Amino acid sequence: MALAQQTVADVCLAARDASRVLASLPTATRDAALHAIADALLAREAEILEANAADLAAGREAGLGDALLDRLALDHDRLVGIADGTRAIAALPDPVGEVVEGRRLPNGLDVRKVRVPFGVVAVVYEARPNVTIDAASLCLKSGNAVVLRGSSSATHSNAVLSAVAAEAIASVGIPAGAIGLVAGGGREELRELATQDGVVDLIFPRGGEGLKNALKEVATVPVIYAASGNCHVFVDATADLEAARRIVLNAKTQRPGVCNAAETLLVHADIAPAFLPEALRALHDAGVELRVDGRARALADPGLQGHLRPVTEEDFGEEFLSLVLAVGVVDSVEEAIEHVNRHGSGHSEAIVTRDTASARAFERGVDAACVYVNASTRFTDGGEFGMGAEIGNSTQKLHARGPIGVRELCTTKYVVEGDGHIR
């Protein structure tokens, strides 16, 4: 199936036509399509992994870093995970037609606010081929057609995955055009996709600030930004030291190349002498490059001093997406909140504390989609939140904020029923 060779306009128009069919299909048909996709992923594993191997080889030749290569890579376990995630989405309650609220007016009219699909959702993403299936599955479950535009680094993987998914849904009676792929046209292609007014209803970009800014320059279609994650962990004065150490290590090292990994560690001055020496050593031993302020450096073990780099103001604003961590000491929870709001990207922020007042101040004061108390930022994920999967994590405030799952892929309409009413 040569979806990638069609023009952008052709792919989008096919998606619009398919979306009108999808809107009237029963839940069982859309769920059957998702199970067909999951089955096809496993049945065609060798073909998918061969395509991914070609992308990985090209990535190494192009000098992609380890974190980006990890995001690009597929293997048997990851493919099984993608298939399982697709089945998990199928098992979710159908959001289409869900009554958000309803009431009878004094004049006898019945008014219901119900969820309905957007229609055609475009997803623009970088490096991670699993997004091809996650996005397609979430859109199908919520009754939307999807137009996918991945990065050039995953060209082979995305082409095979989208073709596998499109053929699978066609086998259960859904138009193959409900899953479209555009690729190969660079910035002009992105511009054309982002200006498909009246055809594409919404665009989700998943990537860094470069992608976000590129869309801001050209988009006339509404955009929900699922962009960068400059996330913080703040260790408060009353923190449980062992819990704080585990949370910091998990948030930084469990998978450093993703948007919910921690990029800055802040430590209250009252607990810094007890916490930082061991924490800095553990982070260094885990392979983390540490960029520290003067007070953090002064508390580090003497044997570690030569491995520490001075932190800069730019470092505090950086999404490293690698084993690099900025470290600073602050004098209060209020200073920590101010630092987070000045440097953070509105993604995920965590406080480790045993003080309820500090926790509440952090919850209320930090401006972010997700705020954690005594837990790692790594939980910001649609799957972890019980949403099956996510299109991305929205760092803006309209129309949705945080992980974008099947409900967030719906808009609403009012259905009004009367009995011959006139005004």
With respect to residue 123, please indicate whether it lies within any of the assigned structural domains. yes
Q: Does residue 325 belong to any structural domain of this protein?
A: yes
- DSSP string for residues in 26-82: -HHHHHHHHHHHHHHHHHTHHHHHHHHHHHHHHHHHTT--HHHHHHH---HHHHHHH
264 and 205 in a single domain? The answer is no
Q: Rounded to whole angstroms, what are the CA distances from 71 to 74, 154, 225, 264, 408?
A: 8, 10, 20, 21, 25
Pull the structure tokens for residue 119: 């229609």
Domain that holds residue 114: 3-226+391-417
Q: Residue 387: what pLDDT?
A: 83
386 inside domain: no
In a domain, residue 355? The reply is yes
What six digits make up the tokens of 117? 């699909």
Q: How many domains does the chain have?
A: 2
Q: Cα separation of 62 and 184, whole Å?
A: 17
404 and 369 co-located in one domain = no
Query: What CATH number is attached to the domain comprising 357?
Result: 3.40.309.10
Q: Does the residue 356 lie in any domain? A: yes
Q: Name residue 229's amino acid.
A: G
- For residue 333, being part of any structural domain is answered with yes
> What's the pLDDT score for residue 214?
87
> Do both 308 and 407 map to the same domain?
no
Token couple for 202: 């919404």
Strands 110-117 and 410-417: antiparallel
Q: Which residues of 131-140 are buried (b: 16+ CB within 10 A; e: fewer)?
A: bbbbbbbbbb
- Do 345 and 405 have their domain in common? no
Q: Are residues 236 and 271 in the same domain?
A: yes
CATH of residue 152: 3.40.605.10
- Do residue 238 and residue 287 come from a single domain? yes
Phi, psi of 412 (to 5 degrees): -130, 155
What's the pLDDT score for residue 207? 74
Same domain? For 240 and 196 the reply is: no
Query: Would you say residue 422 lies in a domain?
Result: no
384 assigned to some structural domain:
no
Cα–Cα–Cα angle for 364, 386, 221, rounded to 5 degrees:
75
Structure tokens belonging to residue 139? 């859109």
Residues 327 and 273 in one domain: yes
CB 385 within 8 A of CB 372: no
Q: Are 343 and 410 within one domain?
A: no
Does residue 164 sit in the same domain as residue 300?
Answer: no
**Tens digits of pLDDT across the chain (423 residues):** 344 468 999 999 999 999 999 999 999 999 999 999 999 999 999 999 999 999 999 999 999 888 789 889 999 999 999 999 999 999 999 999 999 999 999 999 999 999 999 999 999 988 789 999 999 999 999 999 999 999 889 999 999 999 999 999 999 999 999 999 998 667 889 999 999 999 999 999 987 778 888 888 999 999 998 767 999 999 999 999 999 999 999 999 999 988 999 999 999 999 999 999 999 999 999 999 999 999 999 999 999 999 999 999 999 999 999 999 999 999 999 999 999 999 999 999 999 999 999 999 999 999 999 999 999 999 999 889 988 778 888 988 889 999 999 999 999 999 999 999 999
pLDDT at residue number 4: 41
CB 221 within 8 A of CB 196: yes
Q: Do both 222 and 238 map to the same domain?
A: no
200/249 same-domain check: no
